[in-house]
């Protein structure tokens, strides 16, 4: 294996993407970290330099004031708790809807399977923004759902669904459902059916077989799918902006408002760092399940690939 | 088994309905005459007037053209970088910085976009302060940002394709005396070409659609299509956006249809070749 690429080639193949990602992914985070310890200034850029020269020696000035500010103003804690709650419950909903879907796809015939997989992936290829936008038309007070309910006489007043918790959950579950179904499918598809037959022969009932055999074997798929939904959902910006409540912000919106509206870059950076700290554990966990996720990825990316023999 | 199977099939149908009903409603109401998008004006519908409005809207067309250019450049550079990273992770075995590279190619996929956007803008501002480049933000800074998050996706696609093939073909070519460059050109590249292609398409789609990161790194005068759409729909429904969505769904569906036909044809040819080879051997 090692001789496949010449030593100079090895340096280039690994080195070029490494340099790019260090410059445009890693270093930017260090800058965010640095600015989160800085003080806001009415200048350009609007933050105080972190190092101040003392007798020619640069001395770091670490201000914890931004973090203290996040603790004192309840707006931030409430946005953070709300975001975590929305992300967790949306992940659970995605799992409850996505698991049976993935199961049904994995159990269907090979030809039907590739069509079904493509149907799950197709929305992924169309615009996220436009798919969230579609829900405004469905949920608003003179929207499609209310018109149908009114016409059928089920309700007599239009239901208020837009800009509520309900619409946020709908939007997030809708947008992230494919991310749950695909890793779960990749996992369930690999299961050995003879185990289930053996259990059936030994007299296990269907539900018992599911609980004792299928479910334990699919833990990796559940974990990968849940993390792929949960992590980005915490910082979700588009869904709460278009469908969400105006009296309760999510943390992604708070960060963006701090930055664009208040022009307080240090506080925005501190919010980003707090989010990162909360998400580090799930992200590391996802890396552990990377193998399973990797197996799901080609199907996310390449609908046609999924059925190519390999 | 039957109850579990029955329940899951019902859920599958419901789930797919859930995924497609909003898209269907977007399409239907793009032909509606009323500005109130969701109230069907049966006297004057269907109409194509929102399509006409869309295709004569200078702001939208300009933004779409900018988005296309950025997406083509981003997808192309991201495919090159992502392919290199994918090969490194799948074929180089253990090397220094492997864990770091793995982390840096997985994290951008799940990282909340507000964090990525903020961090990139702060980088640009710090760079401009320090070395005078980039002067302000615009198409170039948007493309740099898009390349960075798109290459993570290409990496995963290429890496998983390479993991799916064991290295024996490449090793056989090496044993027969082919130099590394030839092995790459004649064996590795053709094997991963479909993955690079789907990686390019995925990167194009992601770049074309990105709003959040772009908002951070776009300067005045460089509004991409999602930015224009977002500012329109923030104020409520807008029928020309429905027309835009319909066109995009049509393009994606057509693209997938072409890809499916192409795959079908290729698979048939492969089966035929295998049969022919078997016949020649016999």
* pLDDT per position as a tens digit, A64-118: 889 999 999 999 999 999 999 999 999 999 999 999 999 999 989 888 998 899 8
Radius of gyration of chain A from its Cα atoms, rounded to whole angstroms: 24
| Greater pLDDT, B156 or A58 | B156
For CA atoms B112, B115, B116, B118, give the dihedral sign.
Answer: positive
Q: ipTM score of the complex?
A: 0.89
The mean pLDDT value of chain B amounts to 89
**Residue A40 in 3-state DSSP?**
strand
Residue A245 is part of which domain span? 73-307
* Per-residue pLDDT at A310 exceeds 60: no
**Within-domain flag for A65:** no
Tell me the two tokens of residue B262. Answer: 């192409």
Do residues A50 and A34 make contact, with C-beta atoms less than 8 angstroms apart? yes
Report which DSSP code applies to A306: G
A166 touches chain B (CB under 8 A): no
Residue B206 is part of which domain span? 61-235
CB neighbour list of residue B74: distance below 8 Å, 6 or more residues apart: B143, B146, B147, B150, B203, B204, B207
Give how many domains chain A has, as a whole number: 1
Q: Which of residues 169-198 of A touch B (CB under 8 A)?
A: 174, 177-178, 181, 196
Where are any strands of DSSP class E within chain A?
51-54, 57-60
B115/A272 CB distance under 8 A: yes
Peptide bond into A106 cis (omega under 30): no
Average pLDDT score over residue span B48-75 = 94
**Within-domain flag for A229:** yes
A60 pairs with which residues across the strands? Answer: A51
pLDDT category at A297 given cuts 50, 70, 90 is very low
Both ends of chain B: CA-CA distance in Å? 45
**Within-domain flag for A250:** yes
Tell me the two tokens of residue A134. Answer: 């579609």
Average pLDDT score over residue span A231-259 = 94
Estimate the share of chain A in helix, then strand, then coil, as percent rounded to the nearest 5.
Answer: 75, 5, 25
pLDDT category at B142 given cuts 50, 70, 90 is very high
**Within-domain flag for B40:** no
A3/B100 CB distance under 8 A: no
Give how many domains chain B has, as a whole number: 1
Task: Give pLDDT tens digits for A163-206.
Answer: 999 999 999 999 999 999 999 998 998 888 888 888 888 988 88
Dist CA B257 CA B246 (whole Å) = 16
Q: What is the pTM of this model?
A: 0.89
| Greater pLDDT, B208 or B263 | B208
* Per-residue pLDDT at A304 exceeds 50: no
Closest approach of B51 to chain A, Cα-based (Å): 16
Q: What is the CB neighbour count within 10 angstroms for residue A213?
A: 18
Note the pLDDT of residue A235: 94
**Within-domain flag for B241:** no
A18/B163 CB distance under 8 A: no
A142/B156 CB distance under 8 A: no
Share above pLDDT 90 across residues of chain A, in percent, rounded to a whole number = 52
Q: What's the CATH code of the domain at B175?
A: 1.10.3720.10
Q: What's the CATH code of the domain at A204?
A: 1.10.3720.10
String of DSSP letters for A41-82: -SSSSSB--SEEEETTEEEE----HHHHHHHHSHHHHHHHHH
Report which DSSP code applies to B138: S
Long-range contact set of residues A140-145: C-beta below 8 Å, sequence gap at least 24: A140/B38, A140/B236, A140/B237, A142/B36, A142/B38, A142/B39, A143/B38, A144/B25, A144/B38
Note the pLDDT of residue A205: 86
Q: Which of residues 184-203 of B touch A (CB under 8 A)?
A: 184, 194-195, 198-199, 202
Estimate the share of chain B in helix, then strand, then coil, as percent rounded to the nearest 5.
Answer: 80, 0, 20
Dist CA A233 CA A239 (whole Å) = 9
* Per-residue pLDDT at A59 exceeds 70: no
Backbone angles phi, psi at B223, to 5 degrees: -90, 125
**Within-domain flag for A33:** no
Dist CA A36 CA A272 (whole Å) = 9
Residues of A in contact with B23 (CB under 8 A): 123, 126, 131, 134
Dist CA A135 CA A150 (whole Å) = 18
Residues of B in contact with A107 (CB under 8 A): 5, 8
Dist CA A71 CA A77 (whole Å) = 7
Residues of B in contact with A126 (CB under 8 A): 23, 245, 248-249, 252
Burial (CB < 10 A; 0-12, 13-18, 19+), residue B257, is exposed
Closest approach of A239 to chain B, Cα-based (Å): 11
Task: Give pLDDT tens digits for B234-249.
Answer: 877 788 999 999 999 9
The mean pLDDT value of chain A amounts to 86
Dist CA A186 CA A197 (whole Å) = 21
């Amino acid at each position: 294996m090692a001789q496949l690429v010449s030593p100079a080639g090895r340096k280039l193949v690994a080195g070029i993407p490494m340099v790019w990602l260090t410059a445009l992914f890693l270093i930017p985070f260090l800058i965010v970290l640095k600015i989160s310890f800085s003080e806001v200034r009415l200048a350009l850029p609007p933050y105080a330099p972190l190092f101040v020269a003392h007798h020619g020696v640069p001395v770091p000035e670490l201000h914890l004031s931004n973090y203290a500010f996040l603790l004192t103003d309840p707006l931030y804690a409430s946005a953070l708790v709300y975001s975590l709650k929305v992300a967790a419950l949306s992940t659970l909903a995605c799992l409850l809807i996505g698991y049976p879907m993935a199961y049904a796809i994995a159990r269907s015939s090979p030809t039907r399977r590739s069509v079904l997989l493509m149907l799950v992936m197709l929305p992924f290829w169309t615009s996220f923004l436009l798919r969230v936008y579609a829900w405004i038309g469905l949920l608003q007070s003179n929207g499609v759902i209310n018109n149908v309910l009114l016409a059928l006489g089920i309700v007599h007043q239009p239901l208020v669904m837009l800009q509520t918790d309900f619409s946020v959950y709908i939007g997030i579950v809708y947008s992230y459902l494919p991310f749950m179904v695909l890793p779960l499918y990749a996992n369930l598809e690999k299961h050995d059916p003879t185990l289930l037959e053996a259990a059936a022969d030994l007299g296990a009932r269907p539900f018992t077989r599911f609980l004792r055999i299928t479910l334990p074997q699919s833990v990796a798929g559940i974990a990968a799918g849940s993390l792929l939904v949960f992590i980005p959902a915490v910082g979700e910006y588009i869904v709460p902006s278009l469908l969400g409540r105006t009296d309760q912000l999510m943390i992604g919106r708070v960060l963006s408002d701090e930055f664009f509206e208040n022009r307080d870059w240090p506080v925005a950076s501190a919010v980003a760092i707090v989010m990162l700290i909360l998400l580090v554990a799930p992200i590391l966990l996802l890396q552990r399940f990377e193998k399973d996720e990797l197996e799901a990825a080609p199907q996310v990316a390449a609908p046609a690939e999924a059925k190519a023999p390999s | 088994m039957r109850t579990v199977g029955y329940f899951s099939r019902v859920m599958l149908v419901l789930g797919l309905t859930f995924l497609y009903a909003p898209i269907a409603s977007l399409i239907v109401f793009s032909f509606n005459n009323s500005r109130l998008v969701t109230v069907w004006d049966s006297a004057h519908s269907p109409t194509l007037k929102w399509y006409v409005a869309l295709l004569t809207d200078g702001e939208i067309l300009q933004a779409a053209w900018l988005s296309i250019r950025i997406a083509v450049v981003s997808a192309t550079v991201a495919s090159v970088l992502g392919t290199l990273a994918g090969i490194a992770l799948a074929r180089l075995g253990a090397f220094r910085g492997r864990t770091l590279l793995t982390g840096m190619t997985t994290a951008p996929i799940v990282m909340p976009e507000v964090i990525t956007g903020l961090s990139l803008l702060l980088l640009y501002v710090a760079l401009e302060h320090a070395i005078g480049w980039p002067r302000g933000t615009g198409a170039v800074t948007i493309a740099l940002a898009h390349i960075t998050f798109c290459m993570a996706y290409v990496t995963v696609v290429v890496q998983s394709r390479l993991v799916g093939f064991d290295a024996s073909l490449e090793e056989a070519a090496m044993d027969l005396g082919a130099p590394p460059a030839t092995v790459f050109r004649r064996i590795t590249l053709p094997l991963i070409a479909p993955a690079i292609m789907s990686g390019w398409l995925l990167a194009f789609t992601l770049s074309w659609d990105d709003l959040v990161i772009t908002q951070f790194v776009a300067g005045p005068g460089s509004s991409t299509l999602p930015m224009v759409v977002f500012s329109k729909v923030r104020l409520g429904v807008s029928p020309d956006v429905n027309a835009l969505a319909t066109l995009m769904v049509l393009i994606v569906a057509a693209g997938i249809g072409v890809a499916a036909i192409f795959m079908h044809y290729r698979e048939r040819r492969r089966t035929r070749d295998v049969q022919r080879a078997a016949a020649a051997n016999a």
